[in-house]
Structure 1
């Protein structure tokens, strides 16, 4: 799929028993699975990998594309101190 080639896969993670599974949300066919010793381990890793870090976008913004957002956040934090 062209979008996955250009933007990378959008992996989604889930757990079924002791197996953690992942697949591309764009349905390009990419995916896999890994077994863990306990179901709680599989669930913990699936939950950790399935996070989207959109709420931290301005705090951890890349230096190139979102640098103005990082500067704006720093100025706002400075005003509130």
Structure 2
């Protein structure tokens, strides 16, 4: 990131990204996709809008989110 704070970017700048989604995602494309970037960031986008913007997070931010999800911190969103 070279001292710059980036929180989102366009699909054109991520054309080489290798996007992944959970195997638990629905077949109709209603899921979140993630891509590890060379700069050490993690890009997150909505699979229904692959040409739309992607949010960028540090690996530490994503690790904190995943740990919280595994601990059930976000289970109340599913009710």
Q: TM-score of the superposition, structure 1-length normalised?
A: 0.28
Instruction: Give the number of the structure whose residues are more often strand, by fraction.
Output: 2
Per chain length, whose mean CA-contact separation is higher, i.e. which structure has more relative contact order (CA < 8 Å, sep 6+)? 2
Instruction: Give the number of the structure whose residues are more often helix, by fraction.
Output: 1
